[in-house]
Chain A
C-alpha cells in the first residue's frame, strides 16, 4: 500500500516542480504582484496617508483593519474552544490521573529566568509599540509577552505563573483586547466615518487626520497584543494540565 501511495505523491511533486518554473523571478518588477495597481498605490500613498514608515503594519492595521480584527477574534475563539473542550473532559475524569510536582525549582534556572523575564517583557512592549517603524506589532509583541509567562510556568511551576496571571483574568483580558479594537472602530463610526476609519478620530483628539490614523493603529495593536498574550498563556496552562490548571510539567 505504501509503495502505491508513493506514485501519486511523486506525480504531484513533479507537477508542482513543473508548475513552479512559471513563477516570476524573485523580486522581479515584472511579476503580477508588482504590476497590480494595488501594491503601487500602497507604496505611493501609505506615507502620505498615515505617516507610518512600515507599510506592512499600515496595511494590516489600517487598510485591512477589518481583516485583522477578525484574525484576533479567530485567536480568541481558538483559545475559548480549547478551554471549553478541556474543562468538560477534565470534569469527567477528575482525580483519575493527578500527578504532583515534587521537584523543587532549580536554583540556577530560576535565577537566570529572574534576570531574563524583565528583558523579555520590555522587548515585548518595544515590539508592540515600535511596530509602526520597525518589524513587529501586536501579534508578535503579544506572543513574546505570553512566552514570558510560559517561561515562569516552566522554570517554577504553573501555580507560580497563575498567581501572576490568573486563568479567569486571561479570559477577561482576551475579551478586553477585542473590545478595545472594535471600540476604536465603533468610535470612528460614531464620529461620522466608516467602521475602522481612524481618520475621523482627529475630531476629538488634537492631532491631524494622518496622525490620528498613526495613533489609532497603536491602539488596535495594543488590543491585538492583549488578546494574544492572554490566549497564548491560557492555551499553555490548559493544554499542559488537561484543563485542571494544577500540577503540570
Chain B
C-alpha cells in the first residue's frame, strides 16, 4: 500500500513537471523542470528495481543534459516564442 501511494505520488508529480516544462515561457526554467522530470523518472525506475537504468537516467538525464541545455540557452534568446 505504501509503495502504491509512493508510485502514484511520483507519477502525478511527473505529469505536473511535464506540463510545466511545456507551458513556461522561460527556456531556462523549462530545462530545469526537465531535470526534475528526469530525476522523478530515476526515482520511479529505482523503485521498480531497474537500478542500472535509474543510474543512467540520474547521470545523463538529470545531470549532463540539463547542464548542456543550460549552456546552450546562454547563447540563445531566453524566451520561447509561442
Do the beta carbons of A240 and B75 come within 8 Å of each other? yes
User: What DSSP secondary structure best describes chain B's contact surface?
Assistant: helix
Chain B, residues 62-80, CB within 8 Å of chain A (1/0): the string is 0110011001101100000
Q: Report yes or no: A249 in contact with B48, Cβ–Cβ below 8 A.
A: no
Query: Which residue of the partner chain, among B59, B71, B75, contacts A140 with CB atoms under 8 Å?
Result: B59
Find the A residue at minimum CB distance from B74: A249
B71 touches A236 (CB 8 A): yes
Chain B residues whose CB sits within 8 angstroms of the CB of A242 once the complex forms: 75
Residues of B within 8 A of A65 (CB): none
Q: Which residues of B contact A239 (CB under 8 A)?
A: 68, 71-72, 75
Residues of chain B within 8 A of A236, CB atoms compared: 64, 67-68, 71
Chain A's closest residue to B75 (CB) is A242
Complexed CA–CA distance, A54 and B5 (Å): 30
Summed over the interface, the residue pairs from A and B with CB atoms below 8 Å come to a total of 51
Q: How far is the CA of A248 from the CA of B54 in the complex (A)?
A: 31
Q: Which residues does chain A contribute within 8 Å of B54, judged by CB atoms? A: 135
Q: Kindly provide the distance from the CB of B49 to the nearest chain A CB, expressed in whole angstroms.
A: 8
| Complex interface: chain A residues within 8 A of B48 (CB) | 26
**Chain B residue with Cβ nearest A26:** B48
| Given A147-B63, A147-B64: A140 in contact with B56 (beta carbons within 8 A) | yes
Residue of B nearest to A235 (CB): B68
> For this complex, into which size category does the number of interface residues on chain A fall?
20 to 34
In the assembled complex, how far is the CB of residue B16 from the closest CB belonging to chain A, in whole angstroms?
A: 16
Which bucket holds chain B's interface residue count? 10 to 19
- Give the residues from 113 to 153 in chain A that come closer than 8 angstroms, CB to CB, to chain B: 127, 135-137, 139-140, 143-144, 146-147, 150
> How far in angstroms is the closest Cβ of chain B from A90?
11
A56 within 8 A of partner (CB): yes
Residues from chain A with Cβ under 8 Å of B72 in the complex: 239-240
- Cα A240 to Cα B59 in complex, Å, equals 19
Q: Are A137 and B75 in contact (CB under 8 A)?
A: no
Contacts A135-B51, A236-B67 given; does A144 touch B75 at CB 8 Å: no
Instruction: Report A235 CB to chain B, min CB distance, Å.
Output: 6
A143 to B68, Cβ gap below 8 A? no
Asked if residues B64 and A249 are in contact (CB atoms below 8 Å), the reply is no
The answer for the CA separation of A140 and B49 in the assembled complex, in Å, is 17
Binary contact readout A16-49 vs B (1 if CB under 8 angstroms, 0 otherwise): 0000000000110000000000000000000000
Nearest chain A CB to B6 CB, angstrom units:
13
Nearest A residue to B50 via CB reads A56
For B59, list chain A residues within 8 Å (CB). Answer: 140, 143-144, 147
Q: Are A137 and B68 in contact (CB under 8 A)?
A: no
> Which of chain A's residues has its CB closest to B82's CB?
A2
The yes or no answer to A69 lying at the interface (CB within 8 A) is: no
Determine if B52 is an interface residue (Cβ-Cβ < 8 Å): yes
A108 to B48, CA, bound (A): 39
Query: Please, what's the 1-or-0 string for A57-75, where 1 marks a CB less than 8 Å from any CB in chain B?
Result: 1000000000000000000
The contact sample of 17 A-B pairs, CB cut-off 8 A, is A26-B48, A57-B52, A139-B56, A139-B60, A140-B59, A143-B60, A147-B63, A150-B64, A154-B67, A232-B64, A236-B64, A239-B68, A239-B75, A240-B71, A240-B74, A241-B75, A249-B71
